[in-house]
Amino acid sequence: GAERLANLRQIVIMVDIADPIYGYGDWGGRSFMRIIRESAPSRDGFYMPGEFEFHEGCIMIFPERPDSWQYGGYAARRAFVQVAEAIGESEKVTVCASGAQYDNARAALPPHIRVVEMSSNDAWARDYGPTFVRNAAGEVRGIDWGFNAWGGLCDGLYFPWDKDNQMARKLCDLLDADVYDKRDFILEGGSIHVDGEGTCMVTESCLLSGGRNPGLTKQEIQEVLEEYLGVSKVLWLPCGIYNDETNEHIDNICAFVKPGEAVLAWTDDEEDVQYAMSRASLEYLEGALDAKGRRIKVHKLPLPKPVTVTEEECRGLDACWDRPSRVPGERLAASYVNFYIANGSIVMPGFGDPADAEAKEILQGLFPDRKVVQIYARDILIGGGNIHCITQQIPAGRHVNGTKRKEST
């Protein structure tokens, strides 16, 4: 009798913590990651804050993939370390490294930067780190989107991508943040920018590309963005930066600097194929209103002169399956818009171009309370992205101390 009662009590406790909506729950006053499958952030009062709002920290991944990073990633790792150090001056940086690179990462990074062993297929924390959302009580949750290497078997950039696709969930587990399972929808963090006041920007070329969510209409894609990012207005810029192999992510062409204001990558050279692309985006933005009914103030950020890969750089890259990863003379998608907004600084790329200084000055004017740090980023660009693509902010909240739900009740 007593034994049966004890067993029954145990079953009741297990049923109680196995919440049918969320999967799991609190355990003895401590919280742990719940995988949320049957709700969505906006339904639960969550939305994605603007990047310019205060951060808890930043996630990065240590690069080593030899068909992305030339000569085994030595130069890229130096640049990544500089980015981590610059961000680490004003927020907690967590760098994920493979088992093979763990010791090297730990030795290369200063002690205040956390290094954790976590496997990945490459090093794009923006694209497959969690997208974090927050509610009015300051609780932070992650979104685990599906990732298929920027287009899967249609026009993706490498295969396999299974480890990348697991990272958002692993990171939420590490941070004790509940996570929304949205793996049935393919989206990279670099393909969205939000103003934290109800507006999201994307490019049609990326979000409507055949390799991501071909079964969904534009309207259906927009509804997913609204539900998951907690926005009521999606701005669909037509395209991004020429030859951007992500199908032209928004984070290389246009970024909010504050609600109602954005920077747009710009060239005055009408002969450049980029001119018509930037002009189309400008015209779109000039005719658009954000979620609050504001017309967006657009600041033009000059582009560097076209940056192309050298023969020497191509020699340093492994082939991707049976194809060369890059060919000499190939134009890279260089843009100063690909910067990270840290708590105390703007960490932006430089390319050794005369426009480096002008772009830095413009950003300094737009962010007077932050120090603009420019990092020579050619070795990141060769991988196909830049500083924004290799970083993912964690908004400030109360999710990282392991007692969040006790505090929020």
Q: Is 246 in the site for ligand KQY (CB under 6 A)?
A: yes
Q: Is 389 a known active-site residue?
A: yes
Closest to ligand KQY by CB, 33 vs 194, is 194
Which strands sit side by side in the sheet containing 140-146, from one edge to the other?
Answer: 35-36, 179-186, 140-146, 131-134
Q: Does 245 bind ligand KQY (CB under 6 A)?
A: yes
Task: Look at residue 395 and give its three-state secondary structure.
Answer: strand
Q: Which is nearer to ligand KQY, 31 or 213 (CB)?
A: 213
* Residue 26 makes contact with ligand KQY by CB under 6 A: no
Size of residue set near ligand KQY by CB under 6 A = 13
Q: Are 183 and 144 in contact (CB under 8 A)?
A: yes
Distance CA 59, CA 65 (A): 18
- Is the CB of 296 or the CB of 389 nearer to ligand KQY? 389
Distance CA 22, CA 51 (A): 27
Q: Which two tokens stand for residue 154?
A: 């249609």
Check the CA dihedral 268-271-274-275 and report its sign. positive
H-helix or E-strand spanning residue 15 = helix 2-17
248 binds ligand KQY (CB under 6 A): no
Least distance from C-beta 333 to ligand KQY, angstroms? 7
- Of 64, 85, 127, 356, the one binding ligand KQY by CB under 6 A: 127
Query: Alpha helices of 233-330 — where are they, by DSSP H?
Result: 273-286, 311-315
Q: Which residue is listed with tokens 């984070």?
A: 251
389 lines the binding site for ligand KQY (CB under 6 A) = yes
Q: Does 381 bind ligand KQY (CB under 6 A)?
A: no
Cis status, amide bond into 160, omega within 30 of 0: yes
* Residue 79 lies near ligand KQY (rule: CB under 6 A): no
Binding of ligand KQY by 350 (CB under 6 A): no
Q: How far is the CB of 264 from ligand KQY (least distance, A)?
A: 17
Decide if residue 326 touches ligand KQY (CB under 6 A): no
By CB under 6 A, tell whether 70 contacts ligand KQY: no
Q: What is the DSSP string of 220-251?
A: HHHHHHHHHHT-SEEEEES--STT-TTT--GG
Q: Name which of 68 and 274 has its Cβ closer to ligand KQY.
A: 68
DSSP character at residue 257: E
Residue 157, interface with ligand KQY (CB under 6 A)?
yes
Q: Which is nearer to ligand KQY, 31 or 391 (CB)?
A: 391
Contact 190, 249 (CB under 8 A): yes
Closest CB to ligand KQY among residues 237, 296: 237
Candidates 302, 384, 395, 397; binder of ligand KQY (CB under 6 A) is 384
Q: Which residues are catalytic?
A: 389
Interface residue list for ligand KQY (CB under 6 A): 68, 124, 126-127, 157, 190, 245-246, 249, 383-385, 389
